[in-house]
Chains A and B, each alone.
Chain A
Amino acid sequence: MNIVFFMIIVSLFIAIIFFILFIKSVKSGQYDDMYTPSVRMLFEDEFVEKKEDSLTKTKPTNLTK
Chain B
Amino acid sequence: MSYNVISLQLKFAPIKKCMPKVDCFHCGAECDSKPIIFDDKPFCCNGCKTVYEILNENDLSCYYDFEQAPGAIPEEIKSKYAYLDNELIVKNLYDFIDDEISVITFYIPHVHCSSCIWVLENLDRLNKGVVSGIVNFPKKEIRITFNNSKTSLRQIVELLSSIGYEPYISLEDTSLTKRKTDRSLVYKLGVAGFAFGNIMLLSFPEYFQSNEFWLERYKPLFRILIFIMVIPVVFYSANEYFISAYKGLKHKILNIDVPIALGISVLFIRSAIEIIFQLGQGYFDSLAGFVFFLLLGKIFQQQTYSFLSFERDYKSYFPIAVTKIEKDKSEVNISIYDIKEGDRLLIRNEELIPVDGILINGNAQIDYSFVTGESLPVSKKSGDKLFAGGKQLSGAIEMEVLQTVSQSYLTQLWSNDVFAKKQQNTIKSLTDSISKRFTIIVLLIAFFAGVFWYFIDASMIANVVTAVLIVACPCALALSAPFALGNMLRIFGKHKFYLKNAAVVENLSNIDMVIFDKTGTITTNKTNITYQGLKLTKDEIQLIRNLLRESNHPLSRMLYEYLEKSDKIEVTNFKEIFGKGIQGEVDGIKIKLGSEKFVSGSTSNTLQTTIFIKIDDEVKGNYIFENAYREDIVTIFNELDKNYTLRVLSGDNEGEKEHLENILPKDIRLIFNQKPEDKLEYIKKQQEQTEKVLMIGDGLNDAGALAQSDVGIAVSENTNVFSPACDGIIDATNFGMLPKFIELSKGTLKVIKISFVLSFLYNIVGMLFAVTGNLSPIVAAILMPISSISIVVFVTITTNYIAKRIKFT
A binds B: yes
Question: Given A15-B194, A36-B135, A64 and B186 touching (CB < 8 A)?
Answer: no
Residues 110-130 of B at the A interface (beta carbon under 8 Å): 113-114, 117-118, 121-122, 125
- A contact residues, range: 20 to 34
Q: In the bound complex, do residue A46 and residue B137 qualify as a contact, i.e. CB atoms below 8 Å apart?
A: no
A50 to B247, CA, bound (A): 68
Q: Is the CB of B137 within 8 A of A51?
A: no
**Which residues of chain B come closer than 8 Å to A51, judged between CB atoms?**
56
Known contacts A1-B214, A19-B194, A46-B62: A39-B117 contact under CB 8 Å: yes
8 A Cβ contacts from B19-75 to A: 56, 59-62, 65-67
Query: Separation in Å of the A63 CB from the closest CB of chain B?
Result: 4
Interface residues on B, range: 20 to 34
A36-B118 Cα distance, complex, nearest whole Å: 10
Q: Among B62, B137, B187, which residue has its beta carbon within 8 angstroms of that of A26?
A: B187
Chain A residue at minimum C-beta to C-beta distance from B117: A39
Q: Is the CB of A62 within 8 A of B214?
A: no
Evaluate contact between B198 and A34: CB separation under 8 angstroms.
no
CB of A52 to closest CB in B, whole Å: 11
In chain B, what residue has the closest Cβ to A59? B65
A34 contacts B114, C-beta separation under 8 Å: no
Asked if B117 and A36 sit within 8 Å, CB to CB, the answer is yes
Q: Of residues 746 to 771 in B, which have CB atoms within 8 Å of A's CB atoms?
A: none
Q: Which residues of A contact B218 (CB under 8 A)?
A: 4-5
Contacts of A63 in B (CB 8 A): 66-67, 114
Contacting residues of chain B (55-100) with chain A, CB-CB under 8 angstroms: 56, 59-62, 65-67
Report yes or no: B62 in contact with A35, Cβ–Cβ below 8 A. Answer: no
CA distance A40 to B136 in the complex (A): 11
Q: Which residues of A contact B117 (CB under 8 A)?
A: 36, 39-40
B377 at the interface (CB under 8 A from A): no
Chain A residues, CB < 8 A from B181: 29, 32
**Does A23 lie within 8 Å of B138, measured CB to CB?**
no
Q: How far is the CB of B37 from chain A (nearest CB, A)?
A: 15
Partner of B118, one of A8, A12, A43: A43
List of B residues within 8 angstroms of A1 by Cβ: 214, 217
Q: Is B280 an interface residue (CB 8 A)?
A: no
CB-CB nearest in chain B for A16: B194
The answer to whether B139 has its CB under 8 Å from any CB of chain A is yes
Select which of A4, A27, A40, A64 is within 8 A of B121 by beta carbon.
A40
Whether B65 and A60, one on each chain, are in contact in the complex, defined by CB atoms closer than 8 angstroms, is: yes
Interface string of B205-221 (1 = CB under 8 A from A): 00000000010011001
Do the beta carbons of B214 and A39 come within 8 Å of each other? no
A19's contact among B121, B137, B190, by CB below 8 Å, is which?
A: B190
Check A60–B137 contact: CB distance below 8 A.
no
Residues of B within 8 A of A40 (CB): 117, 121
A50 to chain B, nearest CB (A): 9
Contacts of A48 on B, CB cut-off 8 Å?
56, 59-62
Interchain nearest-CB distance for B323 vs A (Å): 37
Q: Given A12-B225, A40-B117, A47-B62, are A35 and B138 neighbors across the interface (CB < 8 Å)?
A: yes
How far is B22's CA from A20's CA once the two chains are assembled, in angstroms? Answer: 57
Question: Which residues on the B side are within 8 Å of A23 (C-beta)?
Answer: 187, 190
Q: Is B61 a contact of A27 with CB atoms below 8 Å?
A: no
Is B67's CB under 8 angstroms from A64's CB? Answer: yes
Please give the distance in Å from A12's CB to the nearest CB on chain B: 7
Of chain B, the residue at the smallest CB distance from A58 is B65
Residue pair B183, A26 in contact (C-beta under 8 Å): yes
Instruction: Tell me if A33 and B137 are in contact (CB < 8 A).
Output: yes
Whether B187 pairs with A36 at a CB distance below 8 angstroms is: no
Let me know if A54 and B187 touch, CB within 8 A: no
Bound CA–CA A39/B117 (angstroms): 8
Q: How far is the CB of A6 from chain B (nearest CB, A)?
A: 11
Residue contact A36 to B137, C-beta cutoff 8 Å: yes
Contact of B60 among A8, A31, A47 (CB under 8 A): A47
Closest chain A CB from B114 CB (angstroms): 4
Q: Which among B59, B198, B217 is the interface contact of A47 at CB below 8 angstroms?
A: B59
Q: Is the CB of A26 within 8 A of B59?
A: no
State whether B136 touches A36 (Cβ < 8 A). Answer: yes
Shortest Cβ distance from residue A54 to the other chain B in the assembled complex, whole angstroms: 5
B118: chain A residues within 8 A (beta carbon): 43, 46
In the assembled complex, which residues on chain B have CB atoms less than 8 Å from the CB atom of A42? 114
Q: Which residues of B contact A32 (CB under 8 A)?
A: 136, 181
Determine the residue in chain A with the shortest Cβ distance to B113: A64
Residues of A contacting B60 with CB < 8 Å? 47-48
| Bound Cα distance from A26 to B114, whole angstroms | 25
Q: Are B114 and A39 in contact (CB under 8 A)?
A: yes
Chain A residues contacting B136 (CB-CB under 8 Å) are: 32-33, 36
Residue of A nearest to B198 (CB): A15
Chain A nearest Cβ from B106, distance in angstroms: 15
Kindly identify, within residues 707 to 754 of chain B, every residue whose CB is under 8 Å from any CB belonging to chain A: none
Complex Cα–Cα for A12 and B217 (A): 19
Q: Mark B174-215, 1 if CB is under 8 A from A, else 0.
A: 000000010100110010001000100000000000000010
In the bound complex, how far is the Cα of B447 from the Cα of A19, in angstroms? Answer: 42
Minimal beta-carbon separation of A26 from chain B (angstroms): 5
In the docked arrangement, what's the CA distance between A12 and B199, Å?
11
CB of A1 to closest CB in B, whole Å: 5
Across the A-B interface, the 3 shortest Cβ-Cβ residue pairs:
A46-B62, A36-B137, A47-B59
Given contacts A23-B187, A64-B114, 7 further A-B contacts (CB under 8 A): A5-B221, A15-B198, A26-B183, A33-B136, A40-B117, A54-B61, A63-B114
A selection of 18 A-B contacts at a CB cut-off of 8 Å is A23-B190, A26-B183, A29-B181, A31-B186, A35-B138, A36-B136, A39-B114, A39-B117, A39-B137, A47-B60, A47-B122, A48-B60, A49-B59, A54-B56, A62-B66, A63-B67, A64-B113, A65-B113
Q: Which B positions have Cβ atoms within 8 angstroms of A? A: 56, 59-62, 65-67, 113-114, 117-118, 121-122, 125, 135-139, 181, 183, 186-187, 190, 194, 198, 214, 217-218, 221, 225
